[in-house]
Structure 1
Amino acid sequence: MEKLNINQHISAQFNAELEQAMNQVMTMGGMVEQQLNDAIKAMNNRDGVLAKQIIKQDKKVNQMEVEINEFCIRIIAKRQPTASDLRLLIVIIKTISELERIGDVARKICKTALERFSQEHQALLVNLESLAKRSIHMLHDILNAFARMDLAEAIRIYDEDNKVDQEYEAVVRQLMTYMMEDPRSIPNILTALSCARSLERIGDRCQNICEFIVYFIKGEDVRYRSDIDLSALLNEGAILEDKLDD
């Protein structure tokens, strides 16, 4: 991970704690990304052993969220950070919550892999592969942007969710066509649809992390703000002055 330009403090320990928190987030993000890749592999190959292994590993992701959350709370209680330091810790806490939910998607995909699909209906899962790859690619990019707190990259990635949504809509249309042609496939199609919806939600989670990056850098909560053009923020100065430092 590239070293984030965290404000330097008189306390070297405080600096180390902030960097440690960021490193933990990246470790958790890498684990979630790997789980998603493995889950898709398990689904495509009908690998029940791998699927069960990933489901068990989800507990590690959950535990990491708890540990990072508690670590950040201890920093807040002990250091009483202000301004950008406080925003960073808030962003970390919110981001790990999104990553934990993305990890749940991997578990759901694995449960799909364990369900019985006839050879005839196996092709239904192929429709999910392209959507999965696009969603995972978006996650990979936002983790890199988060590591650098790269505003320009976060804004670019934010718009990528439109492509994920388009891919999802195409999958739904294909699955609906299968359902009309073969009513026997309805149970399997409902499973595939549920999995597709979970994959589409990864894009929404990544968008949330984009908004967290904007909040850290600009000090503006842009969630639910349809009146704000994110790209315009690149040419603006800081929206929120760090008055708490005065």
Structure 2
Amino acid sequence: MNDHSSKQYDTELETIRSKVLLMGGIVETQFNEAMAVFRTGNMDRAERVIAEDGNVNQLEVQLDDACSHLIVRRQPTANDLRTVMATIKVITDLERIGDEAAKIARVGRDMHARGSLIMNNYDMLRSISTAAGDMLHDALDAFARLDGAQALRLIDQDDVVDLEFNTITRNLITFMMEDPRTISTALDTLWVAKAIERIGDHAKNIAEYVIYVVEGKDIRHTRQYTPQEAP
């Protein structure tokens, strides 16, 4: 790639990355608003979260297309190609986070419409929601700055989210066994908890892609990883 082509490539890639971060901001807001819907049952908020999912889907298609054209036109190699491929994967994870947020909004809307008791259920999910939201925010920040050290720290946080989910599951099972009248609400709450846990998984994926770009190492499905340089 000559200097002129290299500058064009850098400009096009930075434009794509900026739009990916815009997409990330949208899904982060979706998640926060979805949890507000679960807490309050606000119908207008629920509809906005659900409608926003369509915009996120359109962004996914547009950005995938932009990345594909960038590969065809510029034929990047080595780290440049890793960056584009990782960006495509980040786009996919962001779209799936949007899907999970829309699920949470639908469940919250429907629970309130049925008159289900919500407040205790929201309190039960407060901690896992905060942990997953922090993971998503930090993952987007690590992607924006290509900060491998921050990405590595974030990956460990997924264990916290998984532990929270397991605790919630046990508590909800206990409630259902002790009072069958809680089964419907408990199952809905468990569905939301699982959606939150999946958001944590997607945030972890984004962190792993950052490490792939920065260090050229694919650490997916590995339990132990030592960075090339200390943070």
Q: Taking structure 2 as the reference length, what is the TM-score of the superposition?
A: 0.92
Q: Where does residue 132 of structure 1 map in the other structure?
A: 129
Name the SS for the 2:226 alignment partner: helix
Q: Is 1:55 the counterpart of 2:47 in the alignment?
A: no
Kept after mapping to 2: 8 A contact 1:151/1:234: no
Equivalent residue for 1:43?
A: 38
Alpha carbons 1:8, 1:15 under 8 Å: kept: no
Residue matched to 1:91: 86
Query: 2:131, 2:161 within 8 Å by CA — same for their partners in 1?
Result: yes
Percentage identity across paired residues of the two chains = 39
Q: Does 1:177 align with 2:171?
A: no
Alignment-derived partner of residue 190 in structure 2: 193
Residue 116 of structure 1 and its aligned partner are, at CA, apart by 3.2
Note if contact 2:34-2:46 (Cα within 8 Å) is conserved in structure 1.
Answer: yes
Conserved 8 A contact 2:111-2:118 = no
C-alpha separation in 1, matches of 2:29 and 2:79: 31
Counterpart of 1:243 in structure 2 is: none
Q: Residue 210 of structure 1: CA displacement?
A: 1.6
Moved more, 135-144 or 180-189: 180-189
Q: Taking structure 1 as the reference length, what is the TM-score of the superposition?
A: 0.87
Query: Given that residues 36 and 103 in structure 1 are in contact (C-alpha distance below 8 angstroms), is that contact kept between their aligned partners in structure 2?
Result: yes
CA shift, 1:9, in A, is: 4.3
Aligned counterpart for 2:74 among listed residues 74, 79, 98: 79
Cα deviation, residue 129, structure 1: 2.2
Structure 2 residue corresponding to 1:13, chosen from 8, 13, 24? 8
Query: Per-residue deviation at 1:46?
Result: 1.1
The reply on whether 1:154 has 2:151 as its aligned counterpart is yes
Distance 1:112 1:8 in 2: 53
RMSD (Å), alpha carbons: 1.9
Q: Equivalent of 1:112, from 107, 117, 120?
A: 107
SS of the aligned residue for 1:225 comes to coil
Residues 63-72 or 178-187, more deviating: 178-187
Cα distance in 1, alignment partners of residues 171 and 42 from structure 2: 25
Alignment partners' CA distance in 2, 1:134 and 1:211? 18
TM-fit CA distance, 1:21: 1.0
**Cα pair distance change 1:232/1:86, threshold 3 Å:** closer
| Separation in 2, partners of 1:151, 1:9 | 27
Query: Larger deviation: 141-150 or 216-225?
Result: 216-225
1:168 matches 2:162:
no
SS in 2 for 1:234: coil
Does the 8 Å CA contact 2:116/2:185 hold for their aligned counterparts? Answer: no
What is the CA distance between 1:41 and its match in structure 2? 0.8
Where do 1:192-211 residues align within 5 Å? 192-211=189-208
Gap runs ≥5 in structure 2: none
Report the secondary structure of 1:223's partner residue: coil
Residue type of the alignment partner of 2:4: I
**Partner Cα separation in structure 1 for residue 3 and residue 157 of structure 2:** 36
- What per-residue deviation string (whole Å, max 9, x for no partner) do you get for residues 163-201 of structure 1? 111111221122122212210110111111111011011
Counterpart mapping for 1:213-228 below 5 A: 213-226=210-223
Q: Contact (CA 8 Å) 1:155, 1:231: kept in 2 or not?
A: no
Taking a change above 3 Å as real, the CA distance of residues 31 and 123 of structure 1, as seen in their structure-2 partners, is: same
